[in-house]
Amino acid sequence: KAGVTQTPRYLIKTRGQQVTLSCSPISGHRSVSWYQQTPGQGLQFLFEYFSETQRNKGNFPGRFSGRQFSNSRSEMNVSTLELGDSALYLCASSLGLADDEQFFGPGTRLTVL
Amino acid sequence: DAKTTQPNSMESNEEEPVHLPCNHSTISGTDYIHWYRQLPSQGPEYVIHGLTSNVNNRMASLAIAEDRKSSTLILHRATLRDAAVYYCILRHSTYSGAGSYQLTFGKGTKLSVIP
């Protein structure tokens, strides 16, 4: 069974640009969550999508948005990039909404110059 | 808001038990305690979770203090593969809709296993 896949794995952008990251969940999983990981702030929860609707949200500005498609694949968008957005962005999938066990992908390393 | 505190690092000898502590003195009654670990260059991996009672699974045991202000993740026999950063996470139900919650992450404990 294939795991969670994230594309691209590495990305370099400049301040002010926008970026879209993609996540394909494990087959049959309907929930996708996104996390940001930085050396300073550690792991932080961005949001969770289930049935194409955002169900839970962390404490991030509106520049961070996402969506989920009918096949459960999800995208995360960050607009007007700032230097502080440089981070590892992790996607996790689970069978249902708010499941205790989530399965993480390898992450997308975003560098903002 | 609830907070979690973990030691920055710990060491263990291979094949010995490891006790990883987490302090969550401001935990509320319905907060679940989750543990994930992150191996180098990988995404986090689920380890175990619990509410009030001690929990066991094939990977580890979770011991929760009676007052729930602390918990301990127990690896019964550390192997080299267990070297990772271990995160203690609280999940707080917000009751603003089905399945709604907030997450509080610890900074993680980096476990080194000595052969």
- Residue B98 banded pLDDT, cuts 50, 70, 90: low
Find residue B9's DSSP bridge partners: B110
Dist. CA B19–CA B40, nearest whole Å: 20
Chain B, nearest residue to A40 by Cα? B107
The mean pLDDT of chain A is 95
Please give the average per-residue pLDDT across A88-111, as a whole number. Answer: 94
- Token pair listed for B84: 């990772």
Of A97, A105, A107, the CB nearest to B99: A97
Please give the average per-residue pLDDT across B2-30, as a whole number. Answer: 93
Q: Over the stretch B27-65, which tens digit does the pLDDT of each residue have?
A: 988 899 999 999 998 999 999 999 998 999 999 999 999
Q: With contacts defined as CB-CB under 8 Å, which chain B residues touch A58?
A: 102-103
Residue A79 confidence (pLDDT): 96
Write the CA distances from A86 to A37, A38, B29, B107, integer angstroms.
9, 8, 36, 18
Nearest to A23, CA basis, from A113, A106, A111, A110? A106
pLDDT at B96 over 70: no
Exposure of B27 in the CB half-sphere (CA atoms within 13 A):
29
Q: With contacts defined as CB-CB under 8 Å, which chain A residues touch B107?
A: 42
Dist. CA B44–CA A75, nearest whole Å: 19
Q: Over the stretch A22-55, which tens digit does the pLDDT of each residue have?
A: 999 999 999 999 999 999 899 999 999 999 999 9
> E-strand spans in B15-69?
18-23, 32-38, 45-50, 55-56, 61-64
Dist. CA B86–CA B63, nearest whole Å: 15
Angle at the Cα of A27 from the Cα atoms of A22 and A32, rounded to 5 degrees: 45
Dist. CA B91–CA B49, nearest whole Å: 10
Q: With contacts defined as CB-CB under 8 Å, which chain B residues touch A44?
A: 105
